């Protein structure tokens, strides 16, 4: 449960479409948790994590 909370704090509360796919007991739990907007991808994965001179870029 703590892992779920950590993921949702970063990615945001699931959409209503996603919620519809959950089992009723799980959906009830998720719907009663605090709502989070989530972070943007640039905030989660800033460019500084992927430097231009990395080995990965040299493989292109």
pLDDT digits 0-9 by tens, 5-56: 999 999 999 999 999 999 999 999 999 999 999 999 999 989 888 877 767 6
Distance CA 40, CA 52 (A): 21
Task: Note the pLDDT of residue 22.
Answer: 96
Rounded CA separation 53/47 (Å): 12
Q: Is the pTM of this model over 0.85?
A: no
**Cα separation of 47 and 60, whole Å?**
18
> With 80 as the cut, is the pLDDT of residue 59 above it?
no
Helices vs. strands in the chain: H and E counts, helices first: 5, 0
The whole-angstrom separation of Cα 13 and Cα 7 is 9
* Max Cα distance, the chain (Å): 49
Residue 60 has a pLDDT of: 61
């Amino acid at each position: 449960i703590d892992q779920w909370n950590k993921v949702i704090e970063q990615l945001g509360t699931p959409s209503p479409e996603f919620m519809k796919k959950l089992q009723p007991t799980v959906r009830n739990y998720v719907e009663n948790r605090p709502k989070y907007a989530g972070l943007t991808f640039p905030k989660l994965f800033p460019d500084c994590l992927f430097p231009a001179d990395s080995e990965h870029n040299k493989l292109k």
